[in-house]
Amino acid sequence: MATKYDLRLVEAHADVSAQPSAELPSALQRTARVPEPGGLGFDRRAFLKAASLPCFAACAGAVIGRHDAVPVFAAALANDDSQYIKEARFYEKQDYRKIKCKLCPRGCAIDDRERGYCGARENRGGTYYTLVHSRVVTAHVDPIEKKPFFHFLPGSEAFSIATAGCNVNCKMCQNWDISQVRPEQVRSSYAPPQKVAELAVQYKCPSIAYTYSEPVIFYEYVADTADAGHALGIKSVVVTGGYIQQEPLEKLCRQVDAIKVDLKAYSEKFYKEVVNGELKPVLDALVAIRKRGVWNEIVYLVIPTLNDGDPEFTALAKWIKSDLGPDVPLHFSRFHPEYLLKNLPPTPIETLERAKAIADAEGLHYVYIGNVPGHPAENTYCPRCRKIVVERTGYTVGTVHIHNGQCQYCHQSIPGVWRA
Residues that bind other proteins (CB under 8 A): 1-4, 96-98, 106, 108-109, 111-119, 169, 171, 180-182, 184-185, 276, 339-340
Instruction: Name which of 4 and 93 has its Cβ closer to other proteins.
Output: 4
Q: Which of 183, 214, 221 shows the shortest CA–CA distance to 86?
A: 221
Instruction: Name which of 112 and 353 has its Cβ closer to other proteins.
Output: 112
Q: Give the dihedral of Cα atoms 134, 138, 140, 142; nearest 10 deg.
A: -100
- Estimate the crossing angle of helix 246-253 against helix 280-292, to 10 degrees: 30
Instruction: Name which of 116 and 326 has its Cβ closer to other proteins.
Output: 116
For the bound state, the minimum distance from the C-beta of residue 343 to other proteins, rounded and expressed in Å, comes to 11
DSSP letter assigned to residue 29:
B
Instruction: Name which of 112 and 198 has its Cβ closer to other proteins.
Output: 112
Q: Answer for the pair 224, 194: CB distance below 8 angstroms, yes or no.
A: no
For the bound state, the minimum distance from the C-beta of residue 116 to other proteins, rounded and expressed in Å, comes to 7
Q: Answer for the pair 9, 48: CB distance below 8 angstroms, yes or no.
A: yes
Q: How far apart are CA 81 and CA 120, in angstroms?
A: 12
For the bound state, the minimum distance from the C-beta of residue 277 to other proteins, rounded and expressed in Å, comes to 10
Q: Which residues pair with 388 in a beta bridge?
A: 381
Residues contacting 43, CB < 8 A, separation 6+: none
- Estimate the crossing angle of helix 219-231 against helix 246-253, to 10 degrees: 10
Instruction: Name which of 159 and 176 has its Cβ closer to other proteins.
Output: 176
For the bound state, the minimum distance from the C-beta of residue 112 to other proteins, rounded and expressed in Å, comes to 4
Instruction: Name which of 127 and 169 has its Cβ closer to other proteins.
Output: 169
Instruction: Name which of 101 and 191 has its Cβ closer to other proteins.
Output: 101
For the bound state, the minimum distance from the C-beta of residue 135 to other proteins, rounded and expressed in Å, comes to 16
For the bound state, the minimum distance from the C-beta of residue 9 to other proteins, rounded and expressed in Å, comes to 11
List the 99-101 sheet strands across, edge first.
91-93, 99-101, 109-110
For the bound state, the minimum distance from the C-beta of residue 34 to other proteins, rounded and expressed in Å, comes to 18
Instruction: Name which of 108 and 367 has its Cβ closer to other proteins.
Output: 108
Q: Answer for the pair 236, 226: CB distance below 8 angstroms, yes or no.
A: yes
Q: Which of 344, 16, 5, 412 shows the shortest CA–CA distance to 177?
A: 5
Instruction: Name which of 120 and 407 has its Cβ closer to other proteins.
Output: 120
Q: Answer for the pair 288, 254: CB distance below 8 angstroms, yes or no.
A: no
For the bound state, the minimum distance from the C-beta of residue 109 to other proteins, rounded and expressed in Å, comes to 7
| β 127-130/157-162 pair status | unpaired
Q: Which residues pair with 108 in a beta bridge?
A: none
Q: Answer for the pair 352, 334: CB distance below 8 angstroms, yes or no.
A: yes
Residues contacting 102, CB < 8 A, separation 6+: 90, 91, 92, 245, 247, 248
For the bound state, the minimum distance from the C-beta of residue 29 to other proteins, rounded and expressed in Å, comes to 22
